[in-house]
Structure 1
Amino acid sequence: MNKLKLVLGTFGSIFLLFSMVIIYYWRDVQYEPSALDLFSYFFILPVVFSIILLAPYFIYKAYQAYRSGKKQQHQTLLEQPLNKVPTDKQLKIEDIHWFNLNIFSSSACHAWGENETIIDGLKNFKSPELDDRLENNYSLAVLSYRIQKLDYIVELQDDDSNEKDEAARLVRIKVLIQQQLEQQTETLMQVAEHLKHSALFYDHELAYQYRMHPEWNNTDTPNNDGDQEILIEQVPRLNRLNIHILLSDNVLEVWDECSSQEMLLDFMQSLGMISQQLHLQHHYLAQQNAYEEWIKLLDQISQQNEEFSLIINVDSEIDQTLLDEKMWFMDDYFPAEFASSWCVAAKDVKISNLEAIKVLKVAGNVDDLLTCLNQIMPNHADQTEQEQPFVLILDDATDIKNIKKNNQRFVPALIEPHHFLYTKPILGHTQQLAKIFGFMLGMHLPEEMTSMIYSTDQALTHAFLIDVN
Structure 2
Amino acid sequence: MIKFIVTFVAALAIAINACVIFYWRDIAYDPSETDLILCLLLLPLLAAATALAPYLIFLGIKRYKLSQEKKLRQAAEAELMQSEQKLKNSEKNIAAESRQFSVKIYSASAVHSFGENASILEEYMRFKSPELDPNLFNAYGLPVLSFRIKDLDEAVQSAEDDEPSNISMREQRIAQLLNQQIEQHTETLMMVSNHLKDSAMFYNSEMAYQYRMHPAWISEIDASEHTDENTENILKPVYRLDKITVHILLAENLIHYWSESFSEKLQNQLAGQYSILHAQIEIEHHFMSQPTSYAAWLKLLDQIAEQKHAFNLIINADSEIDQDWIDEKFWQTEAYIAAEYASSWCISSLDTEVLQLIPQKILKIALNETDLDAFLAKNQLIEHAQFKQDMPFVLILDDPADIKTIKKLQRSLIDSAVESHHLLYTKNNFGHTQQLAKIFSFMLGMHFPDEGIGMVYSVDQDSVYSYFQGYREDHIHQ
Please indicate, yes or no, whether the TM-score normalized by the shorter chain is above 0.5. yes
Q: Which residue of 2 is the match for residue 196 of structure 1? A: 197
Distance in 2, matches of 1:406 and 1:315, equals 28
Matches of 2:290 and 2:104 in 1, distance apart? 26
1:147 is aligned to 149
| CA distances 1:199-228 after superposition (whole Å, capped 9, x unpaired) | 111101111111221322354686665665
Residue 120 of structure 1 corresponds to 122
Over the matched positions of the two proteins, sequence identity in percent amounts to 44
Cα offset for 1:412?
A: 1.7
Consecutive unaligned residues in structure 1, runs of 5 or more:
1-90
**SS in structure 2 of the partner of residue 155 of structure 1:** helix
Q: Does the 8 Å contact 2:202/2:236 carry over to 1?
A: no
CA distance in structure 2 between the partners assigned to 1:232 and 1:300 by the alignment: 31
8 A Cα contact 1:248 1:286, kept in partner: yes
Q: CA deviation at 1:243?
A: 0.5
What do you get for the CA RMSD once the two structures are aligned?
2.0
What's 1:138 paired with?
Answer: 140
What is the CA–CA distance in structure 2 between the aligned matches of 1:102 and 1:380, rounded to whole Å?
Answer: 24
1-side partners of 2:140 and 2:233: how far apart? 72
Shift of 1:385: 1.1
Asked if 1:338 corresponds to 2:351, the answer is no
Shift of 1:414: 2.3
| Alpha-carbon distance between aligned partners in 2 of 1:364 and 1:250, rounded to the nearest angstrom | 29
Aligned to 2:106: 104
Is residue 377 from structure 1 mapped to residue 380 from structure 2 by the alignment? Answer: yes
Distance 2:318 2:298 in 1: 19
Cα pair 1:269 1:275 within 8 Å, conserved? no
Deviation digits for residues 18-64 of structure 1 (CA, Å, limit 9, x no counterpart):
xxxxxxxxxxxxxxxxxxxxxxxxxxxxxxxxxxxxxxxxxxxxxxx
- Which deviates further from its counterpart, 267-276 or 147-156? 267-276
Q: Distance in 2 between matches of 1:250 and 1:231?
A: 52
Match for residue 287 of structure 1?
290
In 1: Cα distance, 2:406 partner to 2:357 partner? 41
What residue in structure 1 maps to residue 211 of structure 2?
Answer: 210
2:366 matched residue in structure 1: 363
Q: Are 1:129 and 2:145 an aligned pair?
A: no
For residues 460 and 230 of structure 1, the distance between their equivalents in structure 2, rounded to whole angstroms, comes to: 53
Q: How many Å apart are 1:270 and its aligned residue?
A: 1.3
Residue in structure 1 matching 2:330, options 323, 327, 331: 327
Letter in 2 for 1:125: F
Letter in 2 for 1:166: I
* 1:351 aligned residue (347, 351, 354): 354
**CA offsets 1:276-297 (integer angstroms, 9 cap, x no match):** 1011111111111011000000
Length, aligned pairs only: 377
Q: Which amino acid aligns with 1:127?
A: S
The residue type equivalent to 2:168 in the other structure is A
* Amino acid corresponding to residue 114 of structure 1 in structure 2: E
Among candidates 251, 255, 258, match of residue 252 of structure 1: 255
* Selected match of 2:407 from 404, 407, 418: 404
Q: Which residue of 2 aligns with 1:175?
A: 176
* Cα distance change of structure 1 residues 232 and 304 upon mapping to structure 2, 3 Å threshold: farther
* TM-score w.r.t. length of structure 1: 0.77
The Cα offsets for residues 311-360 of structure 1, whole Å up to 9 and x where unpaired, read as: 00000000011101111111111000000000000001000010000001
1:316 aligned residue: 319
Report the residue type matching 1:299 in the other structure: D
SS in 1 for 2:216: helix
CA contact (8 A) 1:236 1:351 kept: yes
Q: Say if 1:201 and 1:228, in contact at 8 Å, map to a contact too.
A: no
CA distance in 2, matches of 1:379, 1:117: 27
Match of 2:392 in 1: 389
1:426 is aligned to 2:435: no
Deviations along 1:50-90, one digit per CA (max 9) or x if unpaired, are: xxxxxxxxxxxxxxxxxxxxxxxxxxxxxxxxxxxxxxxxx
* Larger gyration radius, structure 1 or structure 2: 2
Residues 334-389 of structure 1 show CA distances to partners (whole Å, capped at 9, x for unaligned) of 00000000000000100001000000111000011111110113444643111111
Q: What secondary structure, in the 3-state scheme, does the structure 1 residue paired with 2:338 have?
A: coil
CA-to-aligned-CA distance 1:75-108 (integer Å, 9 cap, x gap)? xxxxxxxxxxxxxxxx99x932111100000000
Q: Residue 162 of structure 1: CA displacement? A: 2.2
**Residues 367 and 267 from structure 1, CA distance in 2 versus in 1: closer, same or farther, beyond 3 angstroms?**
same
Structure 1 residues 379, 415: closer, same or farther in 2, change over 3 A? closer
Task: Provide closer, same or farther for how the CA distance between residues 218 and 421 of structure 1 changes in structure 2, counting only shifts above 3 A.
Answer: farther
Amino acid at match of 2:215: P
For 1:133, the aligned partner's letter is N
More deviation, 95-104/214-223? 214-223
Distance 1:449 1:263 in 2: 36
After superposition, give the CA deviation of every residue in 1:408-442 in whole Å (9 maximum; x if it has no partner). Answer: 21132121111011111111110000000000000
The amino acid of 1:108's aligned partner reads A
Distance apart, 1:160 and its partner CA: 2.2
What stretches of structure 2 of length at least 5 have no aligned partner?
A: 1-92, 473-478
Q: Distance in 1 between matches of 2:101 and 2:235?
A: 28
> Does the 8 A contact of 2:364 with 2:468 survive in 1?
yes
